[in-house]
Amino acid sequence: MIYISTAMYIEAQEFIKKLGLKRDNSINKFEVFKNDEVVLVITGVGKVKSAVALTYLLARQEITPNDLYINFGVCGTRDRQVSQGEVFLCNKIMDNDTKFTFYPDILFKHPFKEAGIETFSTVVVEEKAQEPLVDMEASALYQAASVFFKPHQIFFIKAVSDYLNTENIDKDFISNIIEKNVDKVIEWLNHIKDNFHYGREVLTQYEEELIKKVSENLKMSATMENEFKQLIVYYKLLDNDITELLNTYLKVECKSKNEGKMHLAELKRRIVK
């Protein structure tokens, strides 16, 4: 699943349109749009609002190692060399209030320029930022997202809208910037989604259930069950058929933990021969 957050609807509307996202009416505290592969939340502007909305959304999900989180939106810059509309992937996020820094892992190749971004609590009108880019959510969103995701699953993609002089910015201008860049972002996300499959579990759910049953039959303690599972994992990695092995033990019923221990020792001898 890909999770996207934007601060404002105007930053989300192109994603909603192009990805065919539908409003999730089961959530009424925030505007959430989704399809089978993407969930988008409009967080509102500012650190607290954005962190609350993202946490609210993510806490209701089962996040997996294959999932990604993307914050997309416009930002300002103090660098006049940067063209308006240029898109950046943020490789450093600084919180202006605390000066804490956060670093998403840039493991995936991407088609964007990179820069650091600084998050302010109020609209920045003076050129006082230390980082090239400026916004009002990134540092809070990173902290919220990192509760659920690893640093390589978190992305901040920002389109430059202004040179810290927001009074001249109108909605059409922002829509225009977003519209120009959204295809590139979607194409890149699809590329990662199609090529990154990171499930590394050895046992299937069915095998896990069998282990649980055997553990009950053999009156195993939690430690014994862990040891048993470890043996089964090792046995499977050696290319053996564990279903057959587990089925043998499914037929065994122990009367005591000690009896179970003997079976465990015998299994270890059998596997490590």
Partner 1 sequence: MQSLKEGLLNRAFSHIYVEKRAMEYNLTKEILKRLEGSKIIEIEHYKDVFSRANQDFYLQKKSPKLILAVKNNNLIYKGAEVCEDFGNKHFYYTSIMMNCIYDCEYCYLQGMYTSSNIVIFVNIDDYFKEVEELLKMHPVYLCISYDTDLLAFEGLTNYVREFVKFAKVNKDLTIEIRTKSANFSLIRDIEPQDNVILAWTLSPDGVIEKYEHRTPNLKRRVESIKEAVDRGWRVRLCFDPILYIKNWREEYRVLVEEVFSKIDADKIYDVSIGLFRVSKDYLKRMRRQRPDSIVLNFPYDSVEGVCSYDKELSENMIGYVYSLVGKYVDKKKIYI
What is the binding site for partner 1 (CB under 8 A)? Answer: 91-92, 101, 103, 105-109, 114, 116, 146, 150-152, 191-192, 195-202, 227, 230-231, 233-234, 237-238, 268, 271-272
Length of the chain: 273
- Residue closer to partner 1 by CB (options 9, 100) is 100
Cβ closer to partner 1: 106 or 186? 106
Q: How far apart are CA 22 and CA 35, in angstroms?
A: 6
The dihedral sign for the CA sequence 115, 119, 123, 129:
negative
Least distance to partner 1, CB of residue 146, Å: 7
Rounded-to-integer distance, Cα 230 and Cα 174, Å = 55
- Residue number with CB closer to partner 1 (9 or 198): 198
Q: How far is the CB of 260 from partner 1 (least distance, A)?
A: 16
- Asked if residues 156 and 94 have their Cβ atoms less than 8 Å apart, the reply is no
Minimum CB distance to partner 1 smaller for 184 or for 268? 268
Euclidean distance between the first and the last CA atom of the chain, given in angstroms as a whole number: 44
Query: Residue 30: which of 16, 13, 49 has the closest Cα?
Result: 49
| Alpha carbon distances (Å) from 67 to 44, 122, 148 | 23, 31, 10
The residues facing 34 across adjacent strands are 22, 39
Q: Which of 40, 29, 42 is nearest to 3 (CA)?
A: 40
Give 135 or 162: the residue with its C-beta nearer to partner 1. 135
Shortest separation between residue 232's beta carbon and partner 1, angstroms: 10
CA separation for the pair 116, 153 (Å, rounded):
17
Work out how close the CB of 8 gets to partner 1 at its nearest, in angstroms, rounded to a whole number: 29
Give min distance, CB of 238 to partner 1, in A: 7
Residue 272 CB partners (closer than 8 Å, separation 6+): none
CB of 115 to partner 1, least distance (A): 10
The residue (of 7 and 129) whose beta carbon lies closer to partner 1 is 129
Instruction: Report the nearest approach of partner 1 to the CB of residue 65 (Å).
Output: 8
Rank residues 15 and 102 by Cβ distance to partner 1 and give the closer one.
102
Given the DSSP bridges, would you call strands 2-6 and 154-162 parallel, antiparallel or unpaired? unpaired
